[in-house]
């Protein structure tokens, strides 16, 4: 019997809006797949960020620059 309870890593992304230059914090969960990024470095190297949809909560702009990544719980 296998009680599999794999923890899905979460990351906090610090994103600066290219339009209004204000900063947003975005918490993302990566899919629980074998090649999923497990830390911030792997996340930066993956194409996960490239496929991420960002919408600025201040101006609704959707172009953001990720300037920081922190690993969540």
Sheet of strand 23-29, all strands in order from the earlier edge strand to the far edge: 23-29, 10-17, 64-71
69 binds Zn ion (CB under 5 A): no
Q: Return the DSSP state at 36.
A: -
Instruction: Please answer whether residues 53 and 61 qualify as being in contact, where contact means their C-beta atoms are separated by less than 8 angstroms.
Output: no
Tell me the window of 3-11, 20-28, 41-49, 62-70 that interacts with Zn ion (CB under 5 A).
20-28
Tell me the window of 5-13, 37-45, 47-55, 60-68 that interacts with Zn ion (CB under 5 A).
60-68
Contact with Zn ion (CB under 5 A) among 28, 30, 36, 61 = 61
């Amino acid at each position: 019997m296998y009680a599999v309870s794999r923890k899905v890593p979460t990351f906090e992304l610090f994103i600066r809006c290219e339009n209004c230059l204000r900063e947003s914090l975005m918490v993302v969960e990566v899919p629980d797949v074998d090649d999923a990024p497990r830390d911030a470095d792997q996340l930066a190297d993956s194409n996960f960020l490239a496929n991420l949809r960002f919408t600025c909560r201040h101006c609704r702009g959707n172009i953001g620059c990720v300037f920081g990544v922190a690993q969540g719980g």
